[in-house]
């Protein structure tokens, strides 16, 4: 089905871009709404001015660190909470209270505690990644079929072997769903942290373009963020397909909270 749908999606996207370009060239768009070709030229301009690559490197470093920390802790605690009655009673209520809170709202708190540093940015990104990964990891662990556990009991598998041979593979599709949501949230929190705390990185470049009336730089930064987010999600999706071959992975969109 997906193989048959992608040409239609591609055609729709191309028609949208062509209509956008035509509307811009005919003067039907405000001057601050650039055409797709102008946006691409803006990205090229930021590269030629030496702004793009340092900004990408800075943002990528923060995003990778925050994503690794947040998802790592989320997976471990989620899997343990899913299998441990005690841990679920301790951790789950705390997660239920903290999860609805917009994570970026804690940025000023982290800034007071840690200063206006990259540690603050990475901490906020990690916090945003933690919750969807934890919730999906715990849920996937608790939804392991009883028949699989009975098979492990029948062969007298140890707790450690049961976990790595039965629980983890069965929970992996849900874990990957949480990680794909976390990827989207990591870009949101990274962007917000970069424009609030001493603007730099791709988010800061975009915001500085807005402040200085450089709409080409602003839209160029937006194009970079959109492309990077798409590629990160695609890479994680392909990795998940390989790791869970033969299993069903739930389709996922991004939850922007």
Contact criterion met (CB below 8 Å) for 133 and 126: no
For 212, the token pair is 């200085």
Full pLDDT tens readout for the chain, 257 residues: 455 666 777 788 889 889 988 988 888 888 888 888 888 888 888 888 888 889 899 999 999 999 999 999 999 999 888 878 888 888 888 888 888 888 888 888 888 888 778 888 899 999 999 999 999 999 888 877 665 556 555 555 556 666 766 777 878 888 999 999 999 999 999 988 888 766 788 888 888 888 888 888 888 888 888 899 999 998 988 888 887 776 654 444 434 44
Q: Which residue has the tokens 């925050």?
A: 66
Give pTM, 2 decimals. 0.81
> What pLDDT is stored for residue 255 in this prediction?
44
CATH number for 35-243 (one of 1.10.150.120, 3.30.160.100, 3.40.190.80, 1.10.3720.10): it is: 1.10.3720.10
Give dist(CA 255, CA 257) in Å, integer: 6
Q: Which residues contact residue 7 at a Cβ distance below 8 angstroms, ignoring those fewer than 6 apart?
A: none
C-alpha atoms less than 13 angstroms from C-alpha of 55 in its C-beta half-sphere:
31
Helix (H) / strand (E) element for 84: namely none
Give dist(CA 133, CA 76) in Å, integer: 9
């Amino acid at each position: 089905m997906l193989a048959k749908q992608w040409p239609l999606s591609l055609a729709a996207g191309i028609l949208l871009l062509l209509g956008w370009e035509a509307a811009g060239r005919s003067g039907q768009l405000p001057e601050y709404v650039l055409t797709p070709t102008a946006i691409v030229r803006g990205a090229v301009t930021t590269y030629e001015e030496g702004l793009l690559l340092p900004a990408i490197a800075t943002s990528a470093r923060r995003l990778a660190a925050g994503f690794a920390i947040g998802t790592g802790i989320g997976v471990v605690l989620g899997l343990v909470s899913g299998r441990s009655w005690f841990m679920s009673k301790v951790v789950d209520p705390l997660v239920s209270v903290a999860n609805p809170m917009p994570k970026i709202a804690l940025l000023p708190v982290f800034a007071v505690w840690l200063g206006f540093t990259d540690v603050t940015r990475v901490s906020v990104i990690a916090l945003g990644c933690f919750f969807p990964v934890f919730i999906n990891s715990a849920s996937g662990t608790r939804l392991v079929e009883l028949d699989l556990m009975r098979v492990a009991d029948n062969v007298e598998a140890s707790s450690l072997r049961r976990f790595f041979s039965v629980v983890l593979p069965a929970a992996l599709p849900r874990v990957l769903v949480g990680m794909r949501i976390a990827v989207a949230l990591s870009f949101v929190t990274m962007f917000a942290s970069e424009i609030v705390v001493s603007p730099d990185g791709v988010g800061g470049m975009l915001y500085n373009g807005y402040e200085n009336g450089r709409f080409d730089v602003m839209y160029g930064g937006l194009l970079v963020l959109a492309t990077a987010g798409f590629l990160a999600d695609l890479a994680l999706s392909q990795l998940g397909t390989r790791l869970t071959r033969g299993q069903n992975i739930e389709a996922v969109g991004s939850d922007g909270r």
